[in-house]
Chains A and B, each alone.
Chain A
Amino acid sequence: MISALAVEIPYWGQSIFRVIGGLVAVLLPAGGIVYLFLFKMMSFMQSRLGPMEAGPYGSMQLLAEVGKWMQKEDIAPDNADKAIFKIAPLVVLLSTFLLIVVVPFGPDAVFADFDTGVFYFLAVGSISVLGILIAGWSSANKYSLLGGLRAAGQLIAYELPMVLATLGVVIQAESMNLNRIIEVQNTGEIFGFGGLGNPFILTQFVGFLIFMIAVQAELTQAPFDMPIAESELVSGYMTEYTGFRFLIFFIAEFATAGVFAFIASVLFLGGWGVPFDWFGWSNIDDVDWWMNLVGPVILATKMFALVGIIMWVRFSYPRFREDQLQTFAWKFLIPISLANIAVTAILKVAI
């Protein structure tokens, strides 16, 4: 960030930059996803127009919705454990903000350049389970509790294939640093041809599929939406929430979708980079400073493409049954991802 603008920014200035950048990187994708996919794509798939009144093509609908939620009364049920009931949505949103810290948006445009970036996002991603569990419990509602328990069971089950799918990438890139993973992909060559780089989606497509399925389940999007199954559990762990606390759950859901898609595009699609061959860069230190400005746009494009797939699946498929969901994770995804790791490791050593 310092070298990008060729001015020395003091530590407090960098901190302010990082906080603002983090807010933008979480809220802007969330808003974009809700408008583009939830409002518009779903409507077109169902042969209707979606919101059209607020602003051109309903683009201001989101602000109207936020305004509506904000002015609703903040109700907690009589029997609820009030303090925990109120904290729970914030814990879920906190994990989203902690996740964005690790995403690299350019060669220098990073919030924190963790050596163990992959490990970090896998660890921090599990904090939201805590928030969902206590939200379900503190609502004093048996549907909420069931939803919370289902969510916990599902999130724990699908974290494992996610970790294992990521391991293939780590083995191939020989690093857990996300910027290094991007560098390896963009300096890679396919049989001596460097014009495309070597995005890991080509060599790790099994890992990519497993990762995306696991992300779908982690986000509790249909067909994995048993925790909030409206025909069985009213609205799962969110049943008792109204007003801005519901809004926070809602933002967290779509912001997390954005962050996970960011991470998936970093791991499998080459992240912010273009193949370094195009501009004659040989490694990440060579990359021109303007990549810090173009990089976020490239990354966001990939992110929206991936979220588009997630939402497409969400709107197309009916819900799994609870036992099918667990069977799918433990008996199908985990063995395949273990085999994927073994094959990757053997090829890595052999070639």
Chain B
Amino acid sequence: MNSVILAADGVNVAQNVGFGIIAAVMIFAALAVVTTKNVVHAALWLAMVLAGMAAQYILAAAEFVAVSQVMVYIGAVMVLFLFGIMLTRAQIGSETGLNNKSWAVGIPVAVVLFGLLAYVVLDAVEDSTIAEVELTGANNEATLEIADRVLSPYLAPFFGMTFVLLAAAIGAIVLARKD
């Protein structure tokens, strides 16, 4: 999101152009998710949005977050989505009745959410610009910092999260076992 401010200052032009192109593709794909007439197509457009997100992280030199995005969302969540869809309803060609009846209510909610997020981000960043990032790869400070933070001050929430995952895994087993 910092790149939005960078665009205004004319810093780091190549990155801004990349950001703009990827953002445009992501917005198009996001609209296609909700307008397409086929469930599998919607899932694939969603994969495109998530891949675009990973590309944005790479542009911001947050390679660890980008790789996590690919691993979790494209490698796991999307495959699970497609797997689920294909095991249940996955007809080829357009379907009817995909729209939720109260879809119109979603638009103001989305607008409010967007406004809220935009306000929070702009408020937090204000006029500061991020420094030109050194894309050397090896010993990327950002990655080291994430590792340090996760394993020292944020260790307790990190452990807490693992229990959530454990609970989910046990829940899945309980649901799957019929006997």
A residues near B (Cβ < 8 Å) are 79-81, 84, 112-116, 119-120, 122-124, 126-127, 129-130, 133-134, 136-138, 140, 145, 148-149, 152-153, 156, 159, 177, 179
Shortest A68–chain B CB gap in Å is: 30
Q: Contact between A116 and B79 (Cβ–Cβ < 8 Å)?
A: no
Q: Contact between B74 and A116 (Cβ–Cβ < 8 Å)?
A: no
Residue-wise, chain B 136-179 has the 8 Å CB interface mask toward A (1 for contact) of 11111001100000000000000000000000000000000000
Closest to A179 in B: B138
Stretch of B20-28, B64-72, B111-119 lying at the A interface: B64-72
Q: Contact between A115 and B137 (Cβ–Cβ < 8 Å)?
A: yes
Interface residues on B, range: 20 to 34
B residues near A (Cβ < 8 Å) are 38, 40-41, 44, 47, 63-64, 67-68, 70-71, 74-76, 78-79, 82-83, 86-87, 90, 92-93, 136-140, 143-144
Q: Which residues of B contact A114 (CB under 8 A)?
A: 63, 67, 137
Q: Which residues of B contact A130 (CB under 8 A)?
A: 47, 74, 78-79, 82
Residue from the set A81, A126, A133, A177 with the largest chain B CB neighbour count within 10 Å: A133
26 contacts between A and B (CB under 8 A): A80-B92, A81-B38, A81-B40, A81-B92, A84-B44, A113-B136, A113-B138, A114-B67, A115-B140, A115-B144, A116-B64, A119-B67, A122-B71, A123-B70, A124-B70, A126-B70, A126-B75, A126-B79, A130-B74, A130-B78, A137-B82, A149-B83, A152-B82, A153-B83, A156-B79, A159-B75
Name B's interface SS. helix
Q: Contact between A119 and B83 (Cβ–Cβ < 8 Å)?
A: no
Shortest A70–chain B CB gap in Å is: 28
Given contacts A129-B79, A152-B79, 13 further A-B contacts (CB under 8 A): A79-B92, A84-B40, A114-B137, A115-B140, A120-B63, A126-B79, A129-B75, A130-B78, A130-B82, A134-B82, A137-B82, A137-B90, A177-B138
